[in-house]
Amino acid sequence: MKKLLNAPSDIVVESLRGLGLAHPELRVDLNHRIVYRSDAPVPGKVALISGGGSGHEPLHGGFVGPGMLDAAVAGEVFTSPVPDQIVEATKNVDSGAGVVHIVKNYTGDVMNFEMAAEIAAAETGVEVVAVVTDDDVAVQDSLYTAGRRGVGVTVLAEKIAGAAADAGRDLNGVADIVRKVNENGRSMGVALTSCTVPAAGKPTFDLPGTDMEIGIGIHGEPGRRRVPLAPAKEIAEMLVEPILADLDFTGGDGVIAFVNGLGASPLLELYLMYGEVAAVLEKAGVRVARSLVGPYITSLDMAGCSLTLLKVDDELVRLWDAPVRTPGLRWGV
Amino acid sequence: MKKLLNAPSDIVVESLRGLGLAHPELRVDLNHRIVYRSDAPVPGKVALISGGGSGHEPLHGGFVGPGMLDAAVAGEVFTSPVPDQIVEATKNVDSGAGVVHIVKNYTGDVMNFEMAAEIAAAETGVEVVAVVTDDDVAVQDSLYTAGRRGVGVTVLAEKIAGAAADAGRDLNGVADIVRKVNENGRSMGVALTSCTVPAAGKPTFDLPGTDMEIGIGIHGEPGRRRVPLAPAKEIAEMLVEPILADLDFTGGDGVIAFVNGLGASPLLELYLMYGEVAAVLEKAGVRVARSLVGPYITSLDMAGCSLTLLKVDDELVRLWDAPVRTPGLRWGV
């Protein structure tokens, strides 16, 4: 294992420390491993929290700031945060308008966020609405998941719901937007190599020779099938087809097309993939309204990419375009 | 070799195609492999061009846009663009106020940009001033370089000079700003793995077992020494020390501290490294005024990072903070 770290057991807290030093506009509680907007709670605004296992950066800590999350709660690498952390964050961001939890669909996350919402409500009366994302069309159940896994749509939901909260929507209104994004978004990923969990020190799975894994999970969970490495053109088809088979993305106001890097695939390759995806979408009659290309929900040092399509209407495009100021996504301010 | 590509010979043009599709605010000339601001030439403004071999994305094509470059010229992977391409870009961005070429110090780039400036001047009378960046303290001469290599400072120079051009400075004024950034900036890199040039299909160099290469070049050129992989704390010292030994960064208005990912090292590790670098700088009495963390000048799929320090004054901080709108760097708009 060749990584930039000290002791593997310290990687999460040390990375959060660096994030806080590099971004003085954030407040990082290293004890609870929470990244806050430094002006949280924002008076009158519904607060947004997300979190989960580390190893997916910039998700979630890099998406804290005006126009996106009020706080992000970091678990150990690929491990859910514990309820105490989530309770602490929930209490600290609530302005009285309530808190939305955006939770990726992994058993540990769903359970711990649920427990935290109950504890926070019982202790301080804060109103919490949790929305679970489950956009990965690759497999129905998985290693850590009943139902579909939550992946790339989470990034888009955090951005869009953040804008909705900024625009003054109430608790149920913001939660509804997260649901709308999740219902209209689908994803599919491909791994060219395994990732290596620092504490394990060796690759999570074996992907020998020229094989690639179609439908990979962001923790290295098995996908649909293992096939020989194909040209990017064919990989684009293998990602787009199952997504279009799952939901009709034609017509209307088009889609946000999001080509995501899994950690070790550089932008040179990601933009090439975007070009191939765009060609497949055009042939399928899917109009691209907006795009996003880059490593936004990673899987440690895995090589590969994922594609997320989100069907949008005027409302979602307007919320997508609204100003955002976080380490990972920034425009308009 | 496991990469997202079709034929290795098409990777540059296909990646540029994707960049253009993902960013309709840019105009991409695939024939000449040039990325333009779509509103170039901007009346009355000094134009800024950079370019070089591909494989360092988002440098340079991802830094085209308001507040940064007017055009970027892409060579093949790790190969200088040819004079014809540079001439074409130079003519097309000149509004009459002249063009600054920002050129990383590699023999082919320096020669081809020089030749292009002469041809463009002879053919259309455009005034060109070229400034060469050579900030890498690792080695004096190198595989493709007489003198020091141009690396991370190029990113900062493109941003800061772009703001100076936007602010209405004249040709020599903008060129002077690039020189000032180069003179006050120093860099040092470390590779944990080699990169793989697509056309070669195998790693450029051998970095066996747990070795790392201190002082690596962005094309895999040899550094200062090969040592066993060390904890991030020690790597931070190995990067900071030679930089501080080369220029006094204490006092004044502090530095921009830029921790750059070389392509395959994820943000989890880069922020951890930033934390370690910040600690070493604090101990050395160097004040951090601004920071930048992420993969901005990459070396294909190399794992590792580089550190660039830029000594700043009020003027440079103001220009750094000015609005910029490019695929790779964006704030204020």
Sort strands A99-104 and A128-133 into parallel, antiparallel or unpaired: parallel
* Residues in chain B within 8 Å Cβ distance of A275: 14-15, 17-18, 21
Q: Cα(B288)–Cα(B309) distance, rounded to whole angstroms?
A: 9
- Average pLDDT of the residues in B267-286: 98
Three-state DSSP string of chain B = CCCCCCCHHHHHHHHHHHHHHHCCCEEEECCCCEEEECCCCCCCCCEEEEEEEECCCCCCHHHECCCCECEEEEEEECCCCCHHHHHHHHHHHCCCCCEEEEEECCHHHHHHHHHHHHHHHHHHCCCEEEEEECCECCCCCECCECCCCCCCHHHHHHHHHHHHHHCCCCHHHHHHHHHHHHHCEEEEEEECCCCECCCCCCECCCCCCCEEEECCCCCCCCCCEEEECCCHHHHHHHHHHHHHHHCCCCCCCCEEEEEEECECCCHHHHHHHHHHHHHHHHHCCCCEEEEEEECCCCCCCECEEEEEEEECCHHHHHHHHCCEECCCCEECC
pLDDT band at B252 (very low <50, low <70, confident <90, very high): confident
Do B3 and A269 lie within an 8 Å CB cutoff? yes
Residue B60 is a catalytic residue? no
Active-site residue, from B23, B32, B60, B219:
B219
End-to-end CA gap in chain A: 39
Q: Cα(B29)–Cα(B35) distance, rounded to whole angstroms?
A: 6
Q: Which of B298, B61, B317 is nearest to B181 (CA)?
A: B317
Query: Quick count: other Cβ atoms within 10 Å of Cβ A208?
Result: 6
pLDDT band at B142 (very low <50, low <70, confident <90, very high): confident
A227, exposed or middle or buried, with CB in 10 Å at 0-12, 13-18, 19+? middle
Among partner residues A55, A62, A275, which is closest to B14 by beta-carbon distance?
Answer: A275
Nearest chain A residue (CA) to B210: A2
Residues facing B48 on adjacent strands: B100
Do A4 and B264 lie within an 8 Å CB cutoff? no
> For the segment B279-311, what is each residue's pLDDT rounded down to a tens digit?
999 999 999 999 999 999 999 999 999 999 999
Which residues of A form the catalytic set? Answer: 56, 219
> For the segment A258-275, what is each residue's pLDDT rounded down to a tens digit?
999 999 999 999 999 999
> For the segment B163-202, what is each residue's pLDDT rounded down to a tens digit?
999 999 999 999 999 999 999 999 999 999 999 999 999 9
* Residues in chain A within 8 Å Cβ distance of B265: 3-4, 301
Average model confidence (pLDDT) across chain A: 97
- Average pLDDT of the residues in A286-305: 98
What is the residue type of B53?
Answer: G
Query: Quick count: other Cβ atoms within 10 Å of Cβ A282?
Result: 12
pLDDT band at A24 (very low <50, low <70, confident <90, very high): very high
pLDDT at B110: 98
pLDDT at B204: 96
Q: Cα(A294)–Cα(B327) distance, rounded to whole angstroms?
A: 10
DSSP conformational letter for A180: H
Q: Cα(B185)–Cα(B137) distance, rounded to whole angstroms?
A: 10
Helix or strand or coil: residue A222?
A: coil
Q: Cα(A200)–Cα(A182) distance, rounded to whole angstroms?
A: 33
B285, exposed or middle or buried, with CB in 10 Å at 0-12, 13-18, 19+? exposed
Do B303 and A301 lie within an 8 Å CB cutoff? yes
What are the residue ranges of helices labelled H in A167-313? 171-183, 232-246, 267-283
From residue B174, how far is each of A42, A203, B91, B112, B314 by CA, in Å? 42, 49, 18, 21, 16
Q: Which of B46-50, B142-146, B283-287 has the lowest mean pLDDT?
A: B142-146
A contact residues 180-209, partner B, Cβ 8 Å cutoff: 192-193
Report residue B110 as tokens: 């320096």
CB distance A305 to A144 below 8 Å: no
* Residues in chain A within 8 Å Cβ distance of B305: 4
From residue B110, how far is each of A64, A261, B51, B53, B125 by CA, in Å? 42, 33, 11, 12, 21
> For the segment B193-251, what is each residue's pLDDT rounded down to a tens digit?
999 999 999 999 999 888 999 999 999 999 999 999 999 999 999 999 999 999 999 98
Percent of chain B with pLDDT over 90: 97
B contact residues 260-299, partner A, Cβ 8 Å cutoff: 263-276, 278, 288, 291, 293, 295, 298
Report residue A289 as tokens: 């309204």
A105 min Cα distance to partner chain B (Å): 22
Helix or strand or coil: residue A255?
A: strand
**Residue A251 pLDDT exceeds 90:** no
- Say whether the peptide bond before residue A83 is cis (omega within 30 degrees of 0): no
Q: Cα(B257)–Cα(B329) distance, rounded to whole angstroms?
A: 16
pLDDT at B230: 98
Residue found by looking up tokens 């609204």 in the block: A322
**Residue A209 pLDDT exceeds 90:** no
The H-or-E segment that residue A35 falls in is: strand A34-37
Q: Which of B79, B138, B85, B76 is nearest to B104 (CA)?
A: B79
pLDDT at B163: 98
DSSP conformational letter for A333: -
Among partner residues B14, B21, B268, which is closest to A15 by beta-carbon distance?
Answer: B268
pLDDT band at B38 (very low <50, low <70, confident <90, very high): very high
pLDDT at A81: 98
Do B4 and A235 lie within an 8 Å CB cutoff? yes
pLDDT at A142: 87
Among partner residues A21, A266, A331, which is closest to B274 by beta-carbon distance?
Answer: A21
Which domains are delineated in chain A?
A: 12-184 (3.40.50.10440), 185-323 (3.30.1180.20)
**Residue B143 pLDDT exceeds 90:** no
CB distance A278 to B21 below 8 Å: yes
Among partner residues B62, B272, B300, which is closest to A18 by beta-carbon distance?
Answer: B272
Residues 6+ apart with CB under 8 A from B114: B130
Do B272 and A301 lie within an 8 Å CB cutoff? no
Sort strands B185-191 and B128-133 into parallel, antiparallel or unpaired: unpaired
Average model confidence (pLDDT) across chain B: 97
Do A4 and B300 lie within an 8 Å CB cutoff? no
Nearest chain B residue (CA) to A324: B331
Do B300 and A266 lie within an 8 Å CB cutoff? yes
Nearest chain B residue (CA) to A322: B333
Q: Which of B220, B189, B215, B188 is nearest to B204 (CA)?
A: B220
CB distance A257 to A282 below 8 Å: no
**Residue A220 pLDDT exceeds 90:** yes
What is the residue type of A252?
Answer: G
pLDDT at B315: 98
For chains A and B, what is the number of CB pairs under 8 angstroms?
197
pLDDT band at A317 (very low <50, low <70, confident <90, very high): very high
Do A57 and B304 lie within an 8 Å CB cutoff? no
Among partner residues A21, A192, A325, which is closest to B275 by beta-carbon distance?
Answer: A21
pLDDT at A36: 98
Active-site residue, from B23, B32, B56, B101:
B56
